[in-house]
Structure 1
Amino acid sequence: MARELRVPEALTALPAPVRWLALPIALTCAVVALVGSWSPADPAVEIPQPTGRAAGYCRALAAALPADLLGHARRDPSPASPYVAGWGDSPRTVLRCGIDRPEELDGDHASDWSPSVDDVTWWSQKLADGGYRFVTTMRAAYVEVTVPAGAAKNPFDPAAALSGAVKANVPG
């Protein structure tokens, strides 16, 4: 004897179009919630691909970087890489180690302001968005710190705060 499927009375009281759309709407909501919870790759951060000794220096630097930078918690961009670190949310200060030598070091910007902290010299470049880009010079691997406008009271502070870790892990 076949068993009869019983539908709850609350559902049978609903008009047929509502009953027919209930399952597709529930599934659509579930898919939207799942897709919305994924963390996509951060397209704004290009991951360097250092080789040889530079890669080793960058991995050592990554292990020595602070969990907090000037009151901003470390939140690395996605996908994770030992050559990229970030602090804060939006705007976010980003460190990239093992970048190629910036072409600008040979161009018109070569004489731009280059402060030194802890025997680490940082070539600086003002960006179009009002932020700054700082790149170490005279080191075994180029380290870049990008500080967007509003990420720090003084745009040089993050690079200065990271100078000790750079000096200890990337020889000059």
Structure 2
Amino acid sequence: MARELRIPKALAALPAPVRWLAPPVALTCAVVALLGSWSSAASDVEAPRPTGRAAEHCRALAAALPQELLGRQRQDLSPASPYVAAWGDAPRTVLRCGVERPEELNGEHAADWSPTVDDVTWWSQKLDDGGYRFVTTMRAAYVEVTVPKGAARNPFDPAAALTPVVKANIPG
């Protein structure tokens, strides 16, 4: 015995083409909005363009970076670059290798807190959003780790965890 499909009165009042097209249109809009939010989040990272030996060191670093950082999985960014890596999604920790020397190192921020871990010195800068930026100093290529507020229990933890791989691939 066939069951009869009951359509709510509000939907039954709509013309048939509207009833048939509404679910696929709503689904398509949701997918487009979701993909748009993913692509805008992933594309807001500017990839550095190191040259010469710095580029070689950065490619070696990229090959050695972990798939997991402090319990957060590595994420693919678009467009892909061997000079950029990210862990987590929102907020995410981002490493960029081959960045230019920060201009702030020439000014009043040059004396800001710069912890050294296993012979790798990380110059630090507190960002306006409450996160931190750490940049290696005295290495063959500058490596930047940006840790947004909430991405780690202690903002320095990601930089400290990446120190061994940076030291092994970016000579001092």
TM-score greater than 0.5 by the shorter chain: yes
Q: Percent identity?
A: 67
Q: Which residue of 1 aligns with 2:127?
A: 127
Tell me the residue number matched to 1:107.
Answer: 107
* Structure 2 match to 1:165: 165
Structure 1, 102-111 or 151-160: larger mean CA deviation = 151-160
Q: Which moved more, 1:43-52 or 1:124-133?
A: 43-52
Secondary structure, counterpart of 2:110 in structure 1: helix
Please tell me the residue identity of whatever aligns with 1:115: P
Question: What is the TM-score when the length of structure 2 is the normalising length?
Answer: 0.83
Q: Pairwise mapping of residues 1-172 of structure 1 onto structure 2 (< 5 A)? A: 18-22=15-19, 24-25=21-22, 28-38=25-35, 39-41=38-40, 42-172=42-172
What are the superposed Cα offsets for residues 86-129 of structure 1, whole Å, 9 maximum, x if unpaired?
A: 11121111111011111001011001111111211100111111
| Distance across 1 between alignment mates of 2:48 and 2:138 | 18
| Distance of aligned partners of 1:130 and 1:23 in 2 relative to their CA distance in 1, 3 Å threshold | same
How far apart, in 1, do the equivalents of 2:154 and 2:26 lie?
45
**Counterpart amino acid of 2:62?**
A
Gaps of 5+ in 1: 1-9
Shift of the alpha carbon at 1:66?
0.8
SS in 1 for 2:57: helix
What's the offset of the Cα at 1:33?
4.2
Q: How far apart, CA to CA, are the structure 1 residues paired with 2:113 and 2:78?
A: 31
How many matched pairs?
Answer: 161
Residue 123 of structure 1: SS of its match in structure 2? strand
- Which of 1 and 2 has greater Rg? 1
1:4 alignment counterpart: none
- TM norm structure 1: 0.83
Tell me: CA distance 1:100–1:31, structure 2 relative to 1, closer, same or farther (3 Å): same
Task: Determine if contact 1:76/1:84 at 8 Å carries over to the other structure.
Answer: no
- Check whether the contact 1:118–1:164 (CA below 8 A) recurs between aligned residues: yes
After superposing on structure 2, the runs of 4+ consecutive aligned residues of structure 1 that deviate more than 3 Å are: 14-17, 22-27
